[in-house]
Structure 1
């Protein structure tokens, strides 16, 4: 994990939204991927923007937007340029899972996210009582809501980094495929 080299500097960056409720672990995921170090974070007020370079792919600009209730309406303001969505779920917070499901469904209804790939991180798998990836998939109705796009639910622990390398690889694969499809459609529209 950590910062990987980008071999082709002329490739356009891709933009990824990193969303989820407050305390889900979004910023911890972001900084673990970027620096491969442990970070102590608090819920983000506003947003964090970081660029992560990946091997054999374009740099990824990640928009980590605060998940407090007052911040969630601003999520849609960042959708227009998004090439992908990473949605982080606190797999232990059963009290707020319905809220998280509702926000997930709402953000997927944004017209700018219509075909973008979705990666759900079922975070905090190290904690007792954490729901597994299958539980999250079922509760979030991912098969139904994401049937027309690439999607995956990855169990992880942002604190230890477990599952994040797999999540990064899956996201990179999705982004490459999405970019190729989008570029092909744009090419044919020009003709």
Structure 2
């Protein structure tokens, strides 16, 4: 008996068992080609960012965070792929939209249209959005505030849960922070967004 007792005692001390599984969320990541989706996700997965080519079709990455794992389905942003984006929306629990804040007015307009249609898409409109105004380190970059005005986010996304942050691959700590806030929106999905 003493042997069993000391064994159990030893087990309790040593083998705390595996940590509880982190919740997993399925997230779709969209944005025009060149917005920087692949680079940001690769850096979040601690992969090198050299040799990154634009995503054709889609790729799925499990991105680990301290309190959750995001299964990010990244959709290529080229025109011939964009028209199929909505086929991949099903089952998503959140949306990451990456835009190039230093792009031409024409591309910014295109990004704005894509974001607007995503915010209004029946499969996405109730989900939390993380909008990253990427390439903030470029001289021509517009600030998140300018983007917010230009994209008319206030009237359009009222009552939705969304975060708009600037991002750059040189400051992954800030990007991780943005994703941290996004994860808390995903966790708190039981609260109904305010109806407009």
Indicate the TM-score class for this superposition, using the shorter chain for normalisation. 0.7 to 0.9
- Tell me which of 20, 29, 38 is aligned to 1:8: 20
TM-superposed deviation, 1:152: 1.0
**Does structure 1 conserve the Cα–Cα contact (< 8 Å) formed by 2:130 and 2:179?**
no
TM-superposed deviation, 1:47: 1.0
Could you say what secondary structure the match of 1:104 adopts? helix
Quick check: 66-75 or 160-169, which moved more?
160-169
TM-superposed deviation, 1:52: 1.5
Quick check: 152-161 or 136-145, which moved more?
152-161
**Superposed CA RMSD:** 1.9
TM-superposed deviation, 1:25: 0.2
Q: Which position in structure 2 is the counterpart of 1:129?
A: 140
Quick check: 45-54 or 33-42, which moved more?
33-42
Q: Which runs of 5+ in 2 are unaligned?
A: 1-17
Q: Which runs of 5+ in 1 are unaligned?
A: 1-5, 183-191
CA distance in 2 between partners of 1:170 and 1:39 (Å): 28
TM-superposed deviation, 1:33: 0.8
CA distance in 1 between partners of 2:22 and 2:177 (Å): 26
TM-superposed deviation, 1:181: 3.7
TM-score (norm 1): 0.84
- Tell me which of 165, 169, 186 is aligned to 1:158: 169
CA distance in 1 between partners of 2:20 and 2:85 (Å): 30
**Does structure 2 conserve the Cα–Cα contact (< 8 Å) formed by 1:27 and 1:41?**
yes
TM-score (norm 2): 0.82
Q: 1:99-139 CA distances to partner (integer Å, 9 max, x unpaired)?
A: 11011111222111121011110100111020010011111
Could you say what secondary structure the match of 1:52 adopts? strand
CA distance in 2 between partners of 1:112 and 1:170 (Å): 22
Does residue 174 (structure 1) correspond to residue 193 (structure 2)? The answer is no
**Does structure 2 conserve the Cα–Cα contact (< 8 Å) formed by 1:122 and 1:154?**
yes
- Tell me which of 93, 97, 107 is aligned to 1:83: 93
Q: Which position in structure 2 is the counterpart of 1:34?
A: 45
Could you say what secondary structure the match of 2:83 adopts? helix
TM-superposed deviation, 1:10: 7.3
Aligned structure 1 segments of 4 or more residues deviating by more than 6 angstroms: none
CA distance in 1 between partners of 2:31 and 2:19 (Å): 31
